Amino acid sequence: MNRKTAIKNIVGISAAGMLGIPQISFGNEKKNSLKGNVNHSVARWCYSKKTLEELCEAAVDIGIKSVELLDPEDFPTIQKYGLTCAMCNSVPLHHTDSFNNPKNHEGHKKEYFDLMPKVQDAGYDKIICFSGNRNGIDDETGLENCAVGLDPIVKEAEKRNLTICIEVFNSKVNHPGYMADSTEWAVRLCEKIGSPNFKILYDIYHMQVQEGDIIATIKKYHPYIAHYHTAGVPGRHEIDDKQELYYPAIMQAILDTGYKGFVAQEFIPERDPFTSLAEAVKICDV
């Protein structure tokens, strides 16, 4: 059985059965038979064993509109398939040593100023950023440092109609010492910067591990959130019945806020990757 046949024959039955969702039978239906309420995206790095071309082909088959966390050299490939990039990488990525350390500010400013016109020219509008690890810096000082370092970048983003998005990570399991490890801290940074062009990339997996209370948090802080990532808890794998989050309810809560942006699958597949991806999209397609 090839990939396309597997996606058509398996995803509806398995995804529905696992999570008690009404069964979806592909049969002779058109592919991409999604409801259209959710803009689906997928993170490139989770499929590193596949080429970007293969991931693009799978995305089109499934009905995904975006492949994200890409660098500018990847843009022509996704454009061939009519796909967008809902969240662009910073160049380079700085998870552990970033804006909370003033020594990085000038280098980051150059990197983002070089990157922003490329993103703008490609027609995309969001770029990721990170707080960096604490490394002895207290949270209040780190917040102030982030605001100072991000200020010129966000002002340039405003001129280019781009949004800089800080990703929240858990510091309990995956990113020990990461400073932006709570939604509240990230919201305070948004308020300090005070620009509609600086918001949060809310990673549902990370925040479930760190603080829980996902739906209430989304309802409370949704004006500060510009993008969402998914994955199963625990383990960061498929969003199936082996993990604790009920994604249909989470997705409905996101839609109820009026959100019109993208939701990206960012789990690490343990099974056939594109079948798992198709299942996840159907589960989230409320």
pLDDT at 207 over 90: yes
Report pLDDT for 27. Answer: 32
Task: Please give the Cα distance from 65 to 159 (Å, whole number).
Answer: 26
- Please, are residues 63 and 34 in contact by the beta-carbon 8 Å criterion? yes
Average pLDDT over residues 208-227: 98
Give the percent of the chain with pLDDT over 90.
Answer: 87
Report pLDDT for 74. Answer: 98
- The domains of the chain are located at 3-284
**Cα 160 to Cα 150, 197, 247, distances in angstroms:** 15, 10, 34
Q: How confident is the model at residue 75 (pLDDT cuts 50, 70, 90)?
A: very high
CATH topology assigned to domain 3-284: TIM Barrel (3.20.20)
Looking at every residue in the chain, the average pLDDT score rounds to 91
Q: How confident is the model over 4-45, as pLDDT tens digits? A: 444 444 444 444 444 444 333 333 334 558 999 999 999 999
Report pLDDT for 10. Answer: 42
- Phi and psi angles of residue 66, each rounded to the nearest 5 degrees, phi first: -145, 140
Task: Please give the Cα distance from 85 to 93 (Å, whole number).
Answer: 16
Average pLDDT over residues 109-127: 98
Three-state secondary-structure class, residue 148 = helix
Q: How confident is the model over 83-93, as pLDDT tens digits? A: 999 999 997 88
